[in-house]
Structure 1
């Protein structure tokens, strides 16, 4: 698989996740995508396991829209890769969008990419 193919494949998963967050189905999407021991490290400093993520997303207001930019992929072997990008997301009622540097570490299990670690850092103005 070429670097571009890997980037395209992981970006499709990442965009599907953001779309699920816009449709208020992120709890189910990430419950299926994350490995049992996966973690999310959020911009507010919290570290959440899979159970906490699905619980929080089940109660979270939806995002209105999102954009991904400056996408990059780093291969970590035949069955692992990290996707890094800038995410910009808008919510109804919010004056400013959330803009952050995001990284998602994926591991391919039985031919399917699974999320093992997600990290976000709020981007300074």
Structure 2
């Protein structure tokens, strides 16, 4: 697999783990110093893993489009895309489209998330 194919597959898997409340996947694929920023605020790995596991407002759908991978060097890349999320919030389905970017870094041969940012549309 190319770097682009690998990272796009991992990005899809992160969203799948989010839908399924699979915090273990996030625990494995986020670097210890990983950080995220969205309209809900800032979150580090220590906050993200239990939040994903709790799955209080489950994502029912997360469709990624307009994907692009920018390789910075052999061990760093940015994945950017549009994500159309449908979440269940207080029993209601809400559409939450965003543009998102994830910075990936290869550590000991394995790709890990360094930073993730979402901009709500």
Scaled by the length of structure 2, what TM-score is found? 0.89
Cross-structure match for 1:118:
116
Distance in 2 (CA, whole Å) between partners of 1:91 and 1:49 is 22
Query: Per the alignment, in what secondary structure is the counterpart of residue 39 of structure 2?
Result: coil
Unaligned runs of 5+ in 2: none
User: Deviation digits for residues 1-51 of structure 1, max 9, x if unmatched?
Assistant: 8xxx322111100111111112121x111111111111011222x111110
Distance in 2 (CA, whole Å) between partners of 1:106 and 1:11 is 11
Alignment of 1:78-97 (within 5 A): 78-92=74-88, 93-97=91-95
TM-aligned CA deviation for residue 95 of structure 1: 4.2
Scaled by the length of structure 1, what TM-score is found? 0.87
CA-atom RMSD in angstroms: 1.5
Of Structure 1 and Structure 2, which has the larger fraction of its residues in strand? 2
Unaligned runs of 5+ in 1: none
Distance in 1 (CA, whole Å) between partners of 2:96 and 2:42 is 18
Number of equivalences: 118
Alignment of 1:7-86 (within 5 A): 7-25=4-22, 27-44=23-40, 46-61=41-56, 62-86=58-82
